[in-house]
Chains A and B, each alone.
Chain A
Amino acid sequence: MARIVIRIPTPLRPLVEGRSGVEVEAGSAREALARLLESNERLRAQLVGDDGELRSYVNVYVGKDNLRDLVEDPELEDGAELSIVPSIAGGGDVGLTADELKRYSRHLLIPEVGLEGQERLKQARVLLIGAGGLGSPLALYLTAAGVGTIGVVDHDEVDLTNLQRQILYDTASVGTSKLRSAAARLRAMNPEVQIRTFETRLESSNALEILDGWDVVADGSDNFPTRYLVNDAAVLLGVPTVYGAIFRFEGQVSVFGAAEGPCYRCLFREPPPPELAPSCAEAGVFGVLPGIVGTIQATEAIKLILGQGRPLVGRLLLIDALRMTFRELSIRRDPDCPVCGESPTITELIDYEEFCGVRPEPDAAASSVPEIDVLELRRWLEQGRAFQLIDVREPYEWQICNLEPQGARLTPMDRLPSLLGELDSGRPLVIYCRTGVRSAHVVDALRAAGFEAVNLKGGIVAWAEAFDPEMPVY
């Protein structure tokens, strides 16, 4: 047995009655350490972990040798010294404040997130395309989860018809800028998150600039031109896109443009013809559906950031809320894909409205058929002119609002051909629908059949705006 002095660093001296060194009797270095700790439980708790090993933030030196590096337990002679040396480390990583540690504590408890994952989220930048039905749950959950920087692209104002599903907004927001409302709501929810707004229409001329520098893009757009634009820009920039789409009760989610994964064009090389691609305004949408799809998109975005789990890369999730089924289709990267394939032909952004056939010109009927505006219609009514006012919308639309007091009759457009014989060919026909698009096609067909028909420009919506603000419009 030798008498050995163990040097104690200042922070630990309060645990050994303020002494700078403690003398123990032992034959070897590890034995000396054991002697010191066996009589001092508080010191042991500081220096030794549950596994019985020295904690990582402390070193014990025998002379100039770190005990960790020694395989043997060196024998010591009388008067030998051991030194307990703190290991001083840290780092200027993103870090979480005390408030953030508390705010995200339920995340920190999950091994797949934990402190490191939460810091990754804080460092992450996610860009949302659209602040509508999908963008609402995306923005809310990503903000709540502590994604450090969230960008939102939108150029709309909040409309009363949005509130059935766009849960970012409330009734008081109607008529105001979506982004201004959204930013205020998100900042109030989590002031730690940076919200960047892009109050603009995403176009070929600005998409690369706006999408550049984000870790993940979440596409909540509601039309094909934007969807192809986002896909192509993100592929060109190498940013993965979490795609989501909704139609009535059905939704789709996937992750495109991830390393080795397919892109949107691998799945849908070309868009459907515009008449088969109705918008929410035309086709309607079940209000909860974007909540389901958007939260799945948020989940995928967070998984991509964390690098955890199995993302929806190469898988298209099909959701049917009416049957409540979730199906999955495998999708492969297409080597012939024009944007992400082996010899891409799309190397810069193109004209996506033209590509999707939704330029104003294709709807030639709307611009070429004879039309009158609502002022003219009112004049005709006041003058008592002989004409027939025909509403070609669907019965459920007629129930919401109509021009029956002005003499309109309902003849839905799909029933019109069989009812042509009932029309009076001696009196001009004024045809209207909701906004004047469908009715223009009807006017076109009626004129081809020999009727004197004109379109009501702007439809019943224009009438309501001009003369009947109390009329319910949709």
Chain B
Amino acid sequence: MSLPVCRLEIGSRMHADLIAAVAEGYPREACGILLGRLDGPRRIVEAFRPAPNRWAGRDDRFLVDPESLRGALEEEGSGGAAVLGFYHSHPDAPAVPSTCDRTLAWPWYVHVIVEVAEGRSVRARAWEFHCGAGGFEERPIALT
């Protein structure tokens, strides 16, 4: 399937709020859903919704609460905000997709990863998974 190269757009205030929010779960990974609208290749984030991390037994894994995601997709289906992608934190690890991220990745969605070093958010980077190439490609984050 062909993938248009997307661009993530997010208000700078919301971006700051998002990366601050993920640090709260440290040292456990935090995760959530990016909601907004699509405009051609633009993915315009209008809200982020923290989701419970349902991965049990390890701090360095995350599983977006399935019920939260089901609810978001239901809202999308009824004309609500689109599910643009997801975010999660990498406590004390760089904001690049891990092997686990790669193994479990879904294409099309934008995956924002926030590096949290010693409890403080360092930086966020956006990634999109390519089924064909089997890898992640970085996507720009445009602050608006």
Contacts and interface: CB of A to CB of B under 8 A. Distances in A.
Contact of A86 (B29, B69, B93, B98): B69
A95 B92 CA distance: 13
A89 B98 contact: no
Given A57-B106, A90-B100, A10 B83 contact: yes
Interface string B82-101: 11001011111100111111
B24 interface: no
B73 A94 contact: no
Contacts of A98: 135
Contacts of A101: 99
A154 to B, nearest CB: 31
Given A90-B105, A91-B101, A92-B90, A7 B73 contact: yes
A89 B99 contact: no
A87 interface: yes
Given A59-B66, A86-B69, A87-B66, A92 B98 contact: yes
Contacts of A91: 29, 55, 58, 60-62, 98, 100-101
A394 interface: no
Given A88-B86, A88-B106, A93 B98 contact: yes
A43 B64 CA distance: 23
B66 A90 contact: no
Contacts of B73: 7, 9, 83, 85
Interface size class of B (residues with CB under 8 A): 35 or more
Given A11-B108, A14-B1, A95 B64 contact: no
A93 B93 contact: yes
A328 interface: no
Interface residues of A, number: 30
Given A90-B88, A92-B113, A11 B100 contact: no
A96 interface: yes
Contacts of A15: 1
A20 B91 CA distance: 36
Contacts of B93: 92-95
Nearest to A56: B104
Contacts of B118: none
Contact of B29 (A7, A66, A85, A92): A92
Nearest to B133: A98
Interface string B66-77: 110110011001
Greatest chain B CB density within 10 A among A66, A91, A95, A96 is at A91
Task: Pick from B60, B67, B70, B105 the residue with the most CB of A within 10 Å.
Answer: B70
B70 A83 contact: yes
A146 to B, nearest CB: 13
Contacts of B55: 89, 91
A21 B73 CA distance: 12
Interface in A73-110: 83, 85-96, 98, 101
Given A10-B83, A57-B104, A93-B60, A88 B98 contact: no
Nearest to B88: A90
B5 to A, nearest CB: 15
A402 B144 CA distance: 84
A310 interface: no
A174 interface: no
Contacts of A61: 70
Given A11-B108, A20-B77, A92-B93, A64 B67 contact: yes
Contacts of A90: 61-62, 88, 97-98, 100-101, 104-105, 111
B129 to A, nearest CB: 9
A119 interface: yes
Contacts of B111: 90
B61 A89 contact: yes
Nearest to B69: A85
B20 interface: no
Contacts of B66: 59, 66, 85, 87
A219 B1 CA distance: 54
Nearest to B96: A95
Contact of A89 (B62, B90, B107): B62
Contacts of A236: none
A144 to B, nearest CB: 20
Nearest to A7: B77
A226 B90 CA distance: 41
Residue of B74, B99, B101 with highest tally of chain A CB at under 10 A? B99
Contacts of A21: 77
A327 to B, nearest CB: 42
Sorted nearest first, the 5 A-B pairs with minimum C-beta distance are A92-B90, A95-B98, A90-B101, A91-B61, A11-B108
Interface of B: 1-2, 29, 31, 55, 58, 60-64, 66-67, 69-70, 73-74, 77, 82-83, 86, 88-93, 96-109, 111, 113, 135
Interface of A: 7, 9-11, 14-15, 20-21, 57, 59, 61, 64, 66, 83, 85-96, 98, 101, 115, 119
18 contacts: A7-B77, A10-B109, A14-B2, A20-B77, A59-B70, A83-B77, A85-B70, A88-B86, A89-B61, A90-B97, A91-B101, A92-B93, A92-B113, A94-B93, A94-B98, A95-B97, A95-B98, A95-B102
Given A10-B82, A90-B98, 7 more contacts: A11-B107, A66-B66, A91-B62, A92-B91, A94-B93, A95-B99, A98-B135
